Amino acid sequence: MMDSTANSQQTAIDSTLPVSRWQSLLFILAAVSAVIWMMSLLILSVTSANPVTLNRDQIIGSSDVLTALVKDPESGTIKVEKSWKNVVDEQELKVTDLASLAVTKEERFIIPILRNQDAWHVAPSKLPKTPRLIYPASDEADRQLKSILKTGHLP
Protein backbone atom coordinates (compact mmCIF):
# COMPACT_ATOMS: atom_id res chain seq x y z
CA MET A 1 0.00 0.00 0.00
CA MET A 2 2.87 2.32 0.74
CA ASP A 3 4.37 1.71 -2.68
CA SER A 4 1.27 2.92 -4.53
CA THR A 5 1.07 6.06 -2.40
CA ALA A 6 4.75 6.75 -2.96
CA ASN A 7 4.35 6.26 -6.73
CA SER A 8 1.43 8.69 -6.92
CA GLN A 9 3.38 11.25 -4.90
CA GLN A 10 6.41 10.82 -7.19
CA THR A 11 4.16 11.35 -10.28
CA ALA A 12 2.77 14.54 -8.75
CA ILE A 13 6.28 15.78 -8.06
CA ASP A 14 7.45 14.93 -11.64
CA SER A 15 4.61 16.90 -13.22
CA THR A 16 5.58 20.04 -11.35
CA LEU A 17 9.26 19.98 -12.37
CA PRO A 18 10.30 22.95 -14.50
CA VAL A 19 10.76 22.49 -18.28
CA SER A 20 14.35 21.87 -19.22
CA ARG A 21 16.32 24.37 -21.26
CA TRP A 22 16.55 21.85 -24.15
CA GLN A 23 12.75 21.46 -24.30
CA SER A 24 12.32 25.25 -24.32
CA LEU A 25 14.73 25.60 -27.24
CA LEU A 26 12.92 22.88 -29.19
CA PHE A 27 9.57 24.57 -28.59
CA ILE A 28 10.92 27.96 -29.72
CA LEU A 29 12.44 26.37 -32.83
CA ALA A 30 9.12 24.70 -33.69
CA ALA A 31 7.16 27.93 -33.12
CA VAL A 32 9.55 30.00 -35.28
CA SER A 33 9.43 27.36 -38.02
CA ALA A 34 5.63 27.40 -37.97
CA VAL A 35 5.54 31.20 -38.23
CA ILE A 36 8.02 31.20 -41.15
CA TRP A 37 5.99 28.49 -42.91
CA MET A 38 2.73 30.45 -42.50
CA MET A 39 4.35 33.67 -43.76
CA SER A 40 5.74 31.80 -46.78
CA LEU A 41 2.27 30.45 -47.61
CA LEU A 42 0.76 33.92 -47.23
CA ILE A 43 3.34 35.47 -49.57
CA LEU A 44 2.81 32.66 -52.09
CA SER A 45 -0.96 33.08 -52.07
CA VAL A 46 -0.78 36.86 -52.44
CA THR A 47 1.71 36.80 -55.30
CA SER A 48 0.27 33.92 -57.32
CA ALA A 49 -3.42 33.74 -56.48
CA ASN A 50 -6.04 34.08 -59.22
CA PRO A 51 -3.95 34.27 -62.37
CA VAL A 52 -5.79 35.61 -65.43
CA THR A 53 -6.90 32.91 -67.86
CA LEU A 54 -8.67 33.99 -71.03
CA ASN A 55 -11.75 32.08 -72.21
CA ARG A 56 -10.71 30.61 -75.56
CA ASP A 57 -14.25 30.12 -76.92
CA GLN A 58 -15.24 33.67 -76.01
CA ILE A 59 -12.17 35.08 -77.78
CA ILE A 60 -12.67 32.97 -80.92
CA GLY A 61 -16.42 33.68 -81.07
CA SER A 62 -16.08 37.45 -80.71
CA SER A 63 -16.16 39.91 -83.61
CA ASP A 64 -13.08 41.64 -82.25
CA VAL A 65 -10.95 41.76 -79.12
CA LEU A 66 -9.92 45.16 -77.85
CA THR A 67 -7.31 46.36 -75.44
CA ALA A 68 -9.03 49.43 -74.10
CA LEU A 69 -8.97 52.06 -71.40
CA VAL A 70 -12.29 52.68 -69.65
CA LYS A 71 -13.18 56.37 -70.02
CA ASP A 72 -16.72 56.35 -68.55
CA PRO A 73 -17.95 53.15 -66.88
CA GLU A 74 -21.57 54.35 -66.65
CA SER A 75 -21.99 55.07 -70.36
CA GLY A 76 -19.65 52.26 -71.43
CA THR A 77 -17.28 54.58 -73.26
CA ILE A 78 -13.80 53.17 -73.87
CA LYS A 79 -10.66 54.40 -75.59
CA VAL A 80 -9.47 51.70 -78.00
CA GLU A 81 -5.73 51.12 -77.67
CA LYS A 82 -5.54 48.02 -79.87
CA SER A 83 -7.94 46.06 -82.07
CA TRP A 84 -6.60 42.49 -82.15
CA LYS A 85 -8.77 41.26 -85.04
CA ASN A 86 -8.67 44.63 -86.86
CA VAL A 87 -12.46 44.94 -87.10
CA VAL A 88 -12.88 48.07 -84.98
CA ASP A 89 -11.16 51.14 -86.36
CA GLU A 90 -12.66 53.80 -84.06
CA GLN A 91 -10.50 55.44 -81.40
CA GLU A 92 -13.41 55.65 -78.97
CA LEU A 93 -16.27 53.18 -78.69
CA LYS A 94 -19.38 52.67 -76.60
CA VAL A 95 -19.92 49.15 -75.22
CA THR A 96 -23.55 48.94 -74.13
CA ASP A 97 -23.29 46.44 -71.26
CA LEU A 98 -19.96 47.57 -69.80
CA ALA A 99 -21.73 49.42 -67.00
CA SER A 100 -23.06 46.13 -65.61
CA LEU A 101 -19.51 44.85 -65.09
CA ALA A 102 -17.24 45.83 -62.23
CA VAL A 103 -15.02 48.38 -63.98
CA THR A 104 -13.64 51.68 -62.86
CA LYS A 105 -12.51 54.72 -64.78
CA GLU A 106 -8.98 54.65 -66.26
CA GLU A 107 -8.55 50.87 -65.95
CA ARG A 108 -7.18 48.89 -68.92
CA PHE A 109 -8.97 45.72 -70.02
CA ILE A 110 -9.00 43.15 -72.76
CA ILE A 111 -12.59 43.14 -73.98
CA PRO A 112 -14.01 40.56 -76.42
CA ILE A 113 -16.88 42.29 -78.25
CA LEU A 114 -19.74 41.49 -80.62
CA ARG A 115 -21.83 43.79 -82.77
CA ASN A 116 -25.57 43.42 -82.28
CA GLN A 117 -28.19 45.75 -83.83
CA ASP A 118 -25.85 48.69 -84.39
CA ALA A 119 -24.36 48.44 -80.90
CA TRP A 120 -21.26 46.83 -79.47
CA HIS A 121 -21.48 44.64 -76.38
CA VAL A 122 -19.22 42.28 -74.44
CA ALA A 123 -19.21 38.83 -76.04
CA PRO A 124 -20.80 36.17 -73.81
CA SER A 125 -18.79 33.15 -72.80
CA LYS A 126 -19.99 29.60 -73.25
CA LEU A 127 -19.86 28.98 -69.52
CA PRO A 128 -23.09 28.15 -67.67
CA LYS A 129 -25.38 31.20 -67.47
CA THR A 130 -23.14 32.81 -70.17
CA PRO A 131 -21.37 35.43 -68.07
CA ARG A 132 -19.77 38.32 -69.89
CA LEU A 133 -16.06 38.28 -69.11
CA ILE A 134 -13.47 41.00 -69.53
CA TYR A 135 -9.85 40.65 -68.49
CA PRO A 136 -7.31 42.98 -66.86
CA ALA A 137 -4.77 44.00 -69.48
CA SER A 138 -1.37 42.54 -68.61
CA ASP A 139 1.63 41.00 -70.33
CA GLU A 140 0.38 37.51 -69.45
CA ALA A 141 -3.10 38.23 -70.84
CA ASP A 142 -1.53 39.59 -74.05
CA ARG A 143 0.59 36.44 -74.36
CA GLN A 144 -2.47 34.22 -73.97
CA LEU A 145 -4.47 36.32 -76.43
CA LYS A 146 -1.73 36.15 -79.09
CA SER A 147 -1.58 32.37 -78.69
CA ILE A 148 -5.36 31.96 -78.97
CA LEU A 149 -5.57 34.14 -82.07
CA LYS A 150 -2.57 32.43 -83.72
CA THR A 151 -3.07 28.76 -82.81
CA GLY A 152 -6.62 28.55 -81.47
CA HIS A 153 -5.60 27.43 -77.99
CA LEU A 154 -3.91 28.70 -74.85
CA PRO A 155 -0.11 28.48 -74.58
Q: Chain-wide mean pLDDT for the chain?
A: 87
CATH (domain of 86)? 2.40.50.120
Chain-centre distance for alpha carbon 61: 24
Domain that holds residue 41: 2-48
pLDDT in tens, 105-134: 999 999 999 998 889 999 998 888 878 899
DSSP state of 83: E
Based on the fold, state whether residues 39 and 112 are members of the same structural domain. no
Across 32-41, 46-55, 124-133, least confident range: 46-55
Based on the fold, state whether residues 87 and 132 are members of the same structural domain. yes
Q: What pLDDT, on a 0 to 100 scale, did the predictor assign at position 137?
A: 94
DSSP 88-141: ---SEEEBTTGGGS---TT-EEEEEEEEETTEEEEPBPSSTT--B--EE--HHH
Based on the fold, state whether residues 60 and 131 are members of the same structural domain. yes
Q: How many separate domains does the chain show?
A: 2
Based on the fold, state whether residues 43 and 62 are members of the same structural domain. no
pLDDT average, residue stretch 75-83: 95
Residues 49 and 17: their CA atoms lie apart, in Å, by 48
Q: Look up the pTM and report it.
A: 0.69
pLDDT in tens, 101-111: 889 999 999 99
Based on the fold, state whether residues 44 and 61 are members of the same structural domain. no
